[in-house]
Amino acid sequence: MDCPLCDKKHEVEERKRLTSITIKGDKVFYEERFFCCVNVDEEENEFETGAMSNENLMNARNAYRVLHGFYTDL
């Protein structure tokens, strides 16, 4: 992959973590996917593609729906 952080072509590690966000005043927890570049500073070594960003946002919205008992496509 062409890494946008170090501007080199190399394998990047895909990771997942449980994270939280506040939606309409409610803190919800959801699974977030992202890539990690080992060639740059540890504090700024994470990035996501547009597709990952959309998926992460959908996961957060689904967590909010589950919290409130709304229908979800989980």
20 in any annotated domain: yes
- Beta-sheet strands, E only, within 1-74: 13-23, 26-36, 46-47
Please measure the distance between the N-terminal and C-terminal CA atoms of the chain and give it in whole angstroms.
30
Write down the residue that tokens 């919800």 correspond to.
Answer: 28
72 in any annotated domain: no
30 in any annotated domain: yes
7 in any annotated domain: no
What pLDDT score was predicted for residue 41?
82
What pLDDT score was predicted for residue 47?
95
What pLDDT score was predicted for residue 43?
83
- How many domains are contained in the chain? 1
What pLDDT score was predicted for residue 70?
87
Q: Parallel, antiparallel, or unpaired for β 26-36 and 13-23?
A: antiparallel
Structural domain harbouring 22: 13-67
54 in any annotated domain: yes
Q: In this prediction, what percent of the chain has a pLDDT beyond 70?
A: 95
Low-confidence ranges of the chain (pLDDT < 50): none
